[in-house]
Homo-oligomer: A and B are copies of this chain.
Amino acid sequence: MHALKERILAEGSNLGSGILKIDSFLNHQLDVDLLERIGNEIGALFVSEQPDRILTAEVSGIIPAAMAAKALANIPIVYARKHKPVTMSEPVFIEVAPSHTKGSEVNLMVSPEFLRSGERVLIVDDFLASGQTIEALARIVQNAGATLVGIAVVVEKTFEGGRSFLEHWGVPIQAIARIGAMEGHNIVFAD
Protein backbone atom coordinates (compact mmCIF):
# COMPACT_ATOMS: atom_id res chain seq x y z
CA MET A 1 0.00 0.00 0.00
CA HIS A 2 1.46 3.26 -1.17
CA ALA A 3 0.40 5.36 1.87
CA LEU A 4 2.03 2.91 4.28
CA LYS A 5 5.29 2.80 2.31
CA GLU A 6 5.42 6.61 2.27
CA ARG A 7 4.95 6.77 6.03
CA ILE A 8 7.64 4.14 6.62
CA LEU A 9 10.09 6.13 4.46
CA ALA A 10 9.19 9.45 6.11
CA GLU A 11 9.00 8.34 9.74
CA GLY A 12 10.64 4.92 10.12
CA SER A 13 14.10 4.58 11.53
CA ASN A 14 16.50 1.68 11.33
CA LEU A 15 17.77 0.92 14.84
CA GLY A 16 20.20 -1.72 13.58
CA SER A 17 20.00 -5.53 14.00
CA GLY A 18 17.03 -5.52 11.63
CA ILE A 19 14.85 -3.46 13.96
CA LEU A 20 12.57 -0.89 12.34
CA LYS A 21 11.11 1.79 14.60
CA ILE A 22 7.71 3.00 13.40
CA ASP A 23 6.45 4.37 16.69
CA SER A 24 4.75 7.34 15.09
CA PHE A 25 1.78 5.44 13.63
CA LEU A 26 1.86 1.75 14.65
CA ASN A 27 3.81 0.92 17.82
CA HIS A 28 3.26 3.78 20.29
CA GLN A 29 1.40 6.62 18.63
CA LEU A 30 -1.47 5.32 16.46
CA ASP A 31 -2.78 6.79 13.23
CA VAL A 32 -6.29 5.37 13.24
CA ASP A 33 -7.14 6.51 9.72
CA LEU A 34 -4.07 4.80 8.22
CA LEU A 35 -4.67 1.69 10.32
CA GLU A 36 -8.29 1.54 9.17
CA ARG A 37 -7.15 1.62 5.54
CA ILE A 38 -4.65 -1.16 6.31
CA GLY A 39 -7.46 -3.16 7.96
CA ASN A 40 -9.65 -2.69 4.89
CA GLU A 41 -6.86 -4.02 2.68
CA ILE A 42 -6.35 -7.07 4.92
CA GLY A 43 -10.11 -7.66 4.83
CA ALA A 44 -10.19 -7.50 1.03
CA LEU A 45 -7.23 -9.90 0.75
CA PHE A 46 -8.79 -12.54 3.01
CA VAL A 47 -12.58 -12.27 2.64
CA SER A 48 -12.50 -15.22 0.20
CA GLU A 49 -10.95 -17.44 2.90
CA GLN A 50 -14.13 -16.89 4.97
CA PRO A 51 -12.44 -16.51 8.37
CA ASP A 52 -14.67 -16.91 11.45
CA ARG A 53 -12.19 -15.24 13.78
CA ILE A 54 -8.95 -13.25 13.92
CA LEU A 55 -6.13 -14.23 16.26
CA THR A 56 -3.44 -11.69 17.10
CA ALA A 57 -0.94 -11.01 19.89
CA GLU A 58 -0.86 -8.08 22.28
CA VAL A 59 0.07 -5.23 21.95
CA SER A 60 0.75 -3.90 18.47
CA GLY A 61 -1.21 -6.53 16.57
CA ILE A 62 -4.48 -5.51 18.17
CA ILE A 63 -5.33 -2.38 16.19
CA PRO A 64 -4.60 -3.80 12.72
CA ALA A 65 -6.57 -6.91 13.79
CA ALA A 66 -9.52 -4.81 14.96
CA MET A 67 -9.58 -2.81 11.74
CA ALA A 68 -9.40 -6.02 9.67
CA ALA A 69 -12.26 -7.48 11.74
CA LYS A 70 -14.35 -4.39 11.00
CA ALA A 71 -13.73 -4.96 7.29
CA LEU A 72 -14.75 -8.62 7.68
CA ALA A 73 -18.30 -8.04 9.00
CA ASN A 74 -17.09 -7.63 12.60
CA ILE A 75 -15.85 -11.18 13.15
CA PRO A 76 -14.55 -11.68 16.70
CA ILE A 77 -10.90 -11.15 17.56
CA VAL A 78 -8.95 -12.83 20.30
CA TYR A 79 -5.54 -11.49 21.27
CA ALA A 80 -2.97 -13.73 22.88
CA ARG A 81 -1.92 -12.32 26.24
CA LYS A 82 1.77 -12.11 27.07
CA HIS A 83 1.26 -11.43 30.78
CA LYS A 84 -1.38 -13.42 32.63
CA PRO A 85 -4.00 -11.11 34.18
CA VAL A 86 -5.86 -12.20 37.32
CA THR A 87 -8.98 -12.57 35.17
CA MET A 88 -7.31 -15.52 33.40
CA SER A 89 -7.83 -18.32 35.88
CA GLU A 90 -8.94 -21.30 33.77
CA PRO A 91 -6.59 -23.53 31.69
CA VAL A 92 -5.19 -21.77 28.62
CA PHE A 93 -3.41 -22.67 25.41
CA ILE A 94 0.16 -21.48 25.85
CA GLU A 95 3.10 -21.34 23.47
CA VAL A 96 6.49 -19.71 23.89
CA ALA A 97 8.19 -17.57 21.25
CA PRO A 98 11.57 -15.83 21.27
CA SER A 99 10.99 -12.09 20.86
CA HIS A 100 13.15 -10.00 18.62
CA THR A 101 12.20 -6.63 20.10
CA LYS A 102 12.04 -7.78 23.73
CA GLY A 103 15.33 -9.71 23.66
CA SER A 104 13.83 -12.64 25.57
CA GLU A 105 11.12 -15.26 25.35
CA VAL A 106 7.46 -14.36 25.55
CA ASN A 107 4.50 -16.47 26.53
CA LEU A 108 1.43 -16.32 24.33
CA MET A 109 -1.76 -17.38 26.13
CA VAL A 110 -5.28 -17.85 24.73
CA SER A 111 -8.41 -19.02 26.56
CA PRO A 112 -9.99 -22.10 24.90
CA GLU A 113 -13.33 -20.31 25.31
CA PHE A 114 -12.36 -17.85 22.57
CA LEU A 115 -10.70 -20.20 20.06
CA ARG A 116 -12.85 -23.17 19.19
CA SER A 117 -12.45 -26.40 17.33
CA GLY A 118 -13.61 -26.10 13.73
CA GLU A 119 -13.26 -22.31 13.47
CA ARG A 120 -11.49 -20.81 10.44
CA VAL A 121 -8.82 -18.50 11.86
CA LEU A 122 -6.92 -15.63 10.25
CA ILE A 123 -3.74 -14.53 12.07
CA VAL A 124 -3.03 -10.78 11.93
CA ASP A 125 0.09 -9.13 13.37
CA ASP A 126 2.07 -5.93 13.00
CA PHE A 127 5.38 -7.43 11.81
CA LEU A 128 6.58 -10.56 10.05
CA ALA A 129 10.30 -10.85 10.82
CA SER A 130 11.67 -14.29 11.76
CA GLY A 131 8.11 -15.63 11.98
CA GLN A 132 8.54 -17.03 15.51
CA THR A 133 5.59 -15.20 17.06
CA ILE A 134 3.26 -16.16 14.22
CA GLU A 135 4.53 -19.76 14.35
CA ALA A 136 3.55 -19.85 18.04
CA LEU A 137 0.11 -18.38 17.25
CA ALA A 138 -0.38 -20.96 14.48
CA ARG A 139 0.47 -23.78 16.91
CA ILE A 140 -2.20 -22.41 19.26
CA VAL A 141 -4.73 -22.53 16.39
CA GLN A 142 -3.70 -26.13 15.70
CA ASN A 143 -3.85 -27.12 19.39
CA ALA A 144 -7.39 -25.70 19.56
CA GLY A 145 -8.47 -27.93 16.68
CA ALA A 146 -9.21 -24.83 14.61
CA THR A 147 -8.15 -24.29 10.98
CA LEU A 148 -5.58 -21.67 10.04
CA VAL A 149 -6.75 -19.99 6.81
CA GLY A 150 -4.23 -17.20 6.39
CA ILE A 151 -1.59 -14.89 7.79
CA ALA A 152 -1.71 -11.10 7.35
CA VAL A 153 0.89 -8.63 8.57
CA VAL A 154 1.29 -4.88 8.25
CA VAL A 155 5.05 -4.96 7.56
CA GLU A 156 7.20 -7.87 6.40
CA LYS A 157 10.98 -7.75 6.60
CA THR A 158 11.73 -10.23 3.85
CA PHE A 159 15.43 -10.49 4.77
CA GLU A 160 14.58 -12.22 8.05
CA GLY A 161 13.13 -15.29 6.35
CA GLY A 162 9.83 -15.51 8.22
CA ARG A 163 7.81 -16.25 5.09
CA SER A 164 9.70 -19.43 4.23
CA PHE A 165 9.76 -20.45 7.91
CA LEU A 166 5.93 -20.30 7.92
CA GLU A 167 5.42 -21.90 4.51
CA HIS A 168 4.79 -25.36 6.00
CA TRP A 169 1.35 -24.18 7.17
CA GLY A 170 0.25 -24.09 3.53
CA VAL A 171 -1.81 -20.92 3.86
CA PRO A 172 -1.64 -17.55 2.04
CA ILE A 173 0.70 -15.04 3.67
CA GLN A 174 0.09 -11.37 2.84
CA ALA A 175 1.97 -8.23 3.88
CA ILE A 176 0.77 -4.68 3.28
CA ALA A 177 4.36 -3.46 2.89
CA ARG A 178 7.46 -5.61 2.30
CA ILE A 179 10.90 -4.35 3.22
CA GLY A 180 13.73 -6.08 1.37
CA ALA A 181 16.71 -4.35 2.96
CA MET A 182 17.63 -1.82 5.62
CA GLU A 183 21.09 -0.28 5.38
CA GLY A 184 21.96 2.82 7.39
CA HIS A 185 19.19 5.33 6.74
CA ASN A 186 18.03 3.46 3.64
CA ILE A 187 14.88 1.40 3.75
CA VAL A 188 14.37 -0.51 0.49
CA PHE A 189 11.05 -2.12 -0.35
CA ALA A 190 10.96 -5.63 -1.81
CA ASP A 191 8.26 -4.78 -4.34
A33 to B69, CA, bound (A): 9
The yes or no answer to A86 lying at the interface (CB within 8 A) is yes
A85 to B19, CA, bound (A): 11
Contact B87 A27 (CB under 8 A): yes
How many chain copies? 2
Residue-wise interface mask of A (105-119) relative to B, using a CB-CB cutoff of 8 A (1 in contact, 0 not): 000001101100000
The size bracket of the interface on A is 35 or more
Looking at A57-65, A140-148, A176-184, the stretch in contact with chain B turns out to be: A57-65
A63 to B24, CA, bound (A): 17
Residues in A67-102 with C-beta less than 8 Å from chain B: 69-70, 74, 76-79, 81, 83, 85-89, 101-102
The yes or no answer to A103 lying at the interface (CB within 8 A) is yes
Known: A58-B58, A59-B58, A85-B27. A77 touches B111 (CB 8 A): no
Add 12 more A-B contacts to A28-B110, A30-B77, A58-B59 (CB < 8 A).
A21-B87, A24-B114, A28-B81, A30-B62, A30-B78, A32-B69, A32-B74, A59-B79, A62-B63, A63-B63, A85-B102, A87-B101
